[in-house]
Amino acid sequence: MTSFIQTINSNARNRQTFQSQKRAKGTSTWQLKQFADATLGGNSLRKCVQLPEGEDRNEWLAVNVVDFYNQINLLYGSITEFCSPTSCPEMKATDEFEYLWHDPPAFPKPTRLPAPTYISHLLTWTSAHLSNANLFPTAPGVPFPADFERNVRQIFKRLYRVYAHIYCHHYTVVRGLGLEPHLNTGFKHYVLFVEEFGLAEEGRGGKRSEWYGPLGELVESMLRSD
């Protein structure tokens, strides 16, 4: 079976992961990154998403949102040849869930786009947010902005749409490439992180089933299994 790394290299060699302007080795962010990488090798993903004792919540969110972006960027990059404007003329999960792109000033109104165009805009938008030092400060001692968690919540919400599209329209391709374990593990990690930090709650009365929509049953199964 073709390995995950081999597939990524052959199908997505031109895609770029986000290289954040990380704080220097030995600083809080660097140490949190090492912790996240180490705990992912354990048996319980629920344990690995938990905030390390004594660490800053915003630092932990910042480290992990970058990793989730890179994971989904590489995973989608491995199947881009199977996702075209012809095969996926709309950015959908199921027929009941179509995602429209809205990003003023270029897209002042929600706009229907082919899935690959939508996802390209989404990944570019996310990268721009992650590289904005006003939103994601990298210098030691610079505080996170007051709306930091709101921005993180929006990024996680939009990244979810890529998972939803892959599961609903490209799962057979993912299985054929031998990437099913990586997709499932990556999405479960994402779900557990979102649940741990309440990132799926959209104001008062927010419901998990409404937020996850087309993958609600899969999410519930993943939460029960960990």
The annotated binding site for Zn(2+) is made up of 83, 88, 165, 170
Q: How far is 45 from 186, CA to CA, in rounded Å? A: 10
DSSP 3-state percent helix, strand, coil across the chain (nearest 5): 55, 5, 40
Q: How far is 70 from 75, CA to CA, in rounded Å? A: 9
- Compute the C-alpha angle 148/153/154, nearest 5°: 100
Binding-site residues, please? Answer: 83, 88, 165, 170
Copy the structure tokens of residue 216. 């609600």
Q: What are phi and psi of 14, to 5 degrees?
A: -95, 0
